[in-house]
Structure 1
Amino acid sequence: MLRKAVILGCSLVLAGCATGAVDVPRPAAIEAPAAYNSDLPPAGLNEVWWRAFSDPVLDELVARGLSANLDIEAASDRLRAAEALLRAERADRLPTVDGGAEVGVETGDGGSRSTASAGLFGSFNPDISGRLGAEIDLAAARYAEAEYFRSDQQRLIAAAIASRYVEYRRTGAQLDLLEESTDLQRQTLRIVTLRFEAGLSANLDVRRAAADLAQTQARLGLIELARAEAKHALAVLVGEAPGTLDIAPPTDNGSPIPDYGAGPPIGEPANLLRRRGDILAAEARLAAAAAQVGIEQSDLRPSLVVPGSILIGDGSMDGLFSDFVATLGAALDLPLFDGGRRRAEVEAARAELDASLAEYRQSFLLALGEAENALVAIDAYQKRADSLAEAIEQSETALDQSNALYREGLASLFDVLDAQRQLIASRQSLLDNRADLADAFIALHSSAATSIGTEAAEAEAP
């Protein structure tokens, strides 16, 4: 005989139960300046900023870095993890069903018999407290943060590769300049030595000239060290072991340092809020903090769980399908007294929300400061370049005149050496200024996040 029984157990306390939308304060909008304080560089047709250097070697290095850098790879992996966790949180809105079966043997005075039973067990949370919805919002915010963090890693890696490449080119140019300087000082030493041998100058002059030459040659090791460090840093940035990266020689464009042409438009300061991955990540953290407030507020409301089960079998193998039992219940958890703990946790979450808002605003101000500093630096280095070029021209003339006067005995060796030092220093300063100007353009486009990682601004959670 088939027996059917349906048992409905409900433990409901509904008095005073109230639900509603989670009260989450909305952050005030950031007021961005209408324009930068300095003039923007002219924009060109280059789609990405580093191509404005017109250096195929740099283009290749950045492309390799964006595809093989391990920091970007780690950020991509964490993005996949955040996406999976978001799917998991969304799955909590659906009913859960598990199955189970049991088979055994019972022994007693009457002998032994086989037993069997099977069933389905499930539950459903209608989320009357709003907790599940807030947890989904939190997971979505963390997914967005992971997406923006990956975008920011791309921005930083591209800038780091370009900056290290400029340093690599700077040190290469410094080695060439060092060779020119030592050749110049060797010529002076040869002249002084001949004059000493002819009795026209003192041995002190020879020693002074030799000391200046040795001082210049002593810079060789430091420049080679800096060049090796720049090359090793580039290797790590493109995902290779230091010492294994081969960098093609630069194309001859008439300058030892890649000159910046015209890149993508910088845009207005407000674009930082839509482009910079770190600012967008800070905004996502702000959304996560708001969602956490919602989670803590949900603990102040009742929560409801609807469990159920279906069991078949009377315990014997022969009667596996002879008995059927279905149960459905509803359990309501109504918070009554906790000594103020839940409200204290809400207050703490609101304080964290305020802190996240301050950090969000601070991240924008820091980014704005980086862009303003880069613009000022570009203007300063461009103006300085003209003065340094003039200084080199005057130093070359002064050196030629001092050498001529020294040969005629009308000037001292000190005058010659001083003119040499000024010429070498001016050439070095112009070389450094070119590299610093290139770095300033890199910093500007990195701070403005132009043409790299901007797609994350429109990214939506899956």
Structure 2
Amino acid sequence: MQSHTLNRARPARALSPLLAAALVAGCSFIPTYERPAAPVPQAYPLAGAESTTSARAAADIDWKEYFTDPRLQRLIGMALGNNRDLRVAMLNVEQARAQFQIQRANQFPTVNAIASGTRQPSATTGSYANQFQVGLGISAWEIDFFGRVAALKEQALAQYLATDEARKSAQISLVAAVASGWLTLMADEELLDISRRTLETRDESVKLTRLRLENGVSSELDNRQAESLAQAARATYAQQQRQRMLDENALVLLLGQPLPDDIRASLPSSRLADATPMQALPAGLPSDLLVRRPDVRMAEQQLIGANANIGAARAAFFPRISLTAQFGTVSDELSGLFKSGSWAFSLAPQLALPIFDAGRNQAGLESARAGREIAVAQYEKSIQTAFREVSDALAGQATLQEQVDAQRAQAQADAKRFELSDLRYRNGVASYLDLLDAQRSLFATQQSLVVTRLQQLQNQVTLYKVLGGGWTAPAEETPRS
């Protein structure tokens, strides 16, 4: 039973139970954490010999070093300062930090200033008596004998660290998305230029066939085929204009502000073939992803937090000891509050031992254990996903350059074929069907070459991202194991 009236001063040895409790406190039921084995092969398929060299890893290369185009650097800087999703991720970190500080504060007593005054009738004389008191009080401070509060603090710390890793992962994704969006705009402009030139060529072809028709050299079929091909090019041009606007809108959303006019004006003269090359990246080993990718580290922190929850659930089976204490001065008159002999203190320890809770504590423990198994599966899935993403990017790296070279040679051959077909048609040697086929083939090959070049550059961006590039930690920051 707790006492709210301060008792007169007693010897200091009355505090010994509190000191003993504080010394014993610190017992923990958190299971020993062991990092699960990575459920992936020891090496990537298609990883070259450079993967095991001493070249700088992607995670050690700052995005300004990897993306050297000044325009792209400017866009990424704008996105890092204005993107709302990244801003939310940063605020989530602040919120998680505050939650951790709240949980950590529960390990310490809360000291309050107390001032009160009462007036009540005396039980013996029937007259009214006053009592005034001023002092400090500790209200229901839980002495953490079995580590319940400490386990909850560890869980909050792991959640805070996981949220911080999520922020880093959001930045990596944002950097890659802006780079990919910029390359997509460059490809859109190149495709528009191809469609524009193709449309001009086909309009000229319509004029030519109409003139030949009027002079009886060609047939009405040739004229209609030329018009059909010209309209198809016009429809493709309109579609690509629309796609160009949609891709710019997507990039503007990432930037969090409109695309600067000077950068937009520089786009029509940009070509993917002239894009600033990105440096080669060593893939390293799959085990490197455990400490270099923030999303994998986030999953591990969530696993650590789930492990700590088991400690809190186990501690719930044991007694919970709390302490209420007051220290101050008591007097029947206000003028006597601070006189000699008025000082007093009171201690009111309380022990609560769970006897019957209808299985609540056991269910809590089972829930915590299931939560840890879920976290283990999520952690392993994050590793497998990372492995798959790196393997996919390496597969693209191994084959896209060969595809680009083949399509470039094909485009050159189709351009020469179109030139010869046009010359033969004008001289009446070949039919108009040969010329139409050459036109269609050249247009499709030129477009495919641009798309493949875009895929190759975006694959390099993706490889940088999936290897943990885009976030460079300060030298003094080391991952928490």
Q: Is the TM-score greater than 0.5?
A: yes
Which secondary structure state, in structure 1, belongs to the residue aligned with residue 245 of structure 2? helix
Are the equivalent residues in 2 in contact too, given 1:11–1:330 (CA < 8 A)? Answer: no
Distance across 1 between alignment mates of 2:83 and 2:345: 57
Equivalence map 1:195-234=2 (5 Å): 195-234=212-251
Asked if the contact 1:49–1:445 (Cα under 8 Å) also holds between the matched residues in 2, the reply is no
Q: Which residue matches 1:366?
A: 385
User: How much does 1:199 deviate?
Assistant: 0.8
Matches of 1:21 and 1:361 in 2, distance apart? 27
- Shift of residue 304 of structure 1? 1.4
**CA separation in 1, counterparts of 2:375 and 2:458?**
32
Q: Output one character per residue of 1:155-206: Cα deviation in whole Å (capped at 9) or x when no partner.
A: 1000110111111111111111111111221232222122112111112211
Distance change in 2, residues 1:315/1:26 (3 Å): same
Q: Which moved more, 1:161-170 or 1:444-453?
A: 444-453
User: After the TM superposition, which of the residue ranges 324-333 and 31-40 deviates more from structure 2?
Assistant: 31-40
Q: Does 1:425 pair with 2:444?
A: yes
Where does residue 449 of structure 1 map in the other structure?
Answer: 468
Give the letter for the 1:209 counterpart: A
- What amino acid does structure 1 have at the position aligned with 2:182? Y
1:98-247 to 2 correspondences below 5 Å: 98-102=112-116, 116-123=132-139, 124-240=141-257, 247=264
Structure 1 SS opposite 2:136:
strand
Hey, what's the Cα distance between the residues in 1 that align with 2:25 and 2:329? 39
Change (3 A) 1:346 1:384: same
Deviation at 1:76, TM superposition (A): 1.5
State yes or no: 1:297 paired with 2:314: yes
The corresponding residue for 2:371 is 352
CA RMSD of aligned residues (A): 3.5
Identify the residue that residue 109 of structure 2 maps to in structure 1: 95
| 1:404–1:276 CA distance, 2 compared to 1 (3 A) | same
Corresponding residue SS for 1:76:
helix
8 Å Cα contact 1:58-1:165 kept in structure 2? yes
Counterpart of 1:21 in structure 2 is: 28
Match of 2:278 in 1: 261
One-letter amino acid of the structure 2 residue matched with residue 120 of structure 1: L
Query: 2:97 & 2:264 partners in 1: Cα distance?
Result: 37
- Higher mean alpha-carbon deviation, 350-359 vs 340-349, is at 340-349
* Residue-pair matches, total: 455
* TM-score scaled by length of structure 2: 0.84
Question: Which residue is equivalent to 1:337?
Answer: 356
Change (3 A) 1:72 1:453: farther
1:320 corresponds, among 337, 352, 357, to: 337
The answer to whether the 8 Å contact 1:119/1:310 transfers is: yes
Which segment is superposed worse, 173-182 or 228-237?
228-237
SS in 1 for 2:326: strand
Amino acid at match of 2:29: V
The farther-off stretch of 251-260 and 80-89 is: 251-260
Match of 2:478 in 1: 458
Q: Deviations over 1:396-430 (max 9, x none)?
A: 22212222222232322111111100000000000
Q: 2:181 is paired with a residue of what secondary structure?
A: helix
Quote how far apart the aligned CAs of 1:252 are. Answer: 6.5
Shift of 1:262: 1.4
State which of 62, 82, 91 in structure 2 corresponds to 1:48.
62
How many angstroms apart in 2 are the aligned matches of 1:383 and 1:215? 30
Identify the range of structure 1 (228-237 vs 362-371) with the bigger mean alpha-carbon deviation.
228-237
Counterpart contact for 2:189–2:267, Cα < 8 Å: no
Aligned to 2:3: none
Q: 2:198–2:233: 8 Å Cα contact kept in structure 1?
A: yes
Q: 1:4 aligns with which of 1, 8, 29?
A: 8
SS of equivalent to 1:102: strand
Q: Is the 8 A contact 1:48 1:263 kept in 2?
A: no
Amino acid at match of 1:400: E
Q: What are the Cα deviations for residues 209-244 of structure 1, in whole angstroms up to 9, with x where unaligned?
A: 011111101122221222122222222212225899
Q: CA deviation at 1:50?
A: 6.7
Q: Which residue of 1 aligns with 2:47?
A: 39
2:303–2:372 Cα contact (<8 Å) kept: yes
In the alignment, is the contact (CA less than 8 A) between 1:97 and 1:121 conserved in 2? yes
- Say if 2:442 is the partner of 1:434: no
Rounded to whole Å, the distance in 2 between the matches of 1:214 and 1:257 is 31
Structure 1 SS opposite 2:266: coil
Q: Distance in 1 between matches of 2:9 and 2:241?
A: 88
How has the CA–CA distance of structure 1 residues 429 and 420 changed in structure 2, closer, same or farther, with 3 Å as cutoff?
same
Distance in 2 between residues matched to 1:106 and 1:358, nearest whole Å: 64
List aligned pairs for 1:386-405, cutoff 5 A.
Answer: 386-405=405-424
Q: State the Cα deviation string for residues 130-158 of structure 1 (Å, max 9, x = none).
A: 11110110111011111101100011000
C-alpha distance in 1 between matches for 2:222 and 2:367: 77
Question: TM-score, normalized by length of structure 1?
Answer: 0.88
Equivalent pairs: percent with the same residue? 27
Distance 1:338 1:245, change over 3 A: farther
- C-alpha distance 375-333 of structure 1, shift in aligned 2 (>3 A): same
What stretches of structure 1 of length at least 5 have no aligned partner? none
Measure how far apart 1:372 and its partner are.
0.7
Distance 2:115 2:262 in 1: 60
SS at match of 1:313: strand
Q: Could you list the per-position Cα deviations for residues 240-279 of structure 1 after superposition, in whole angstroms to 9, with x for gaps in the alignment?
A: 2589996451596764563533145432222211121111
Give 1:320 shift.
3.0
2 CA distance for matches of 1:226 and 1:349? 49
Deviation at 1:285, TM superposition (A): 0.6
Distance 2:437 2:459 in 1: 32
Change (3 A) 1:167 1:83: same
Which is further off, 240-249 or 87-96?
240-249
* Equivalent pair of 1:45/1:262 in contact (CA under 8 Å): no
Is this contact kept in 2: 1:265–1:450, CA < 8 A?
A: no
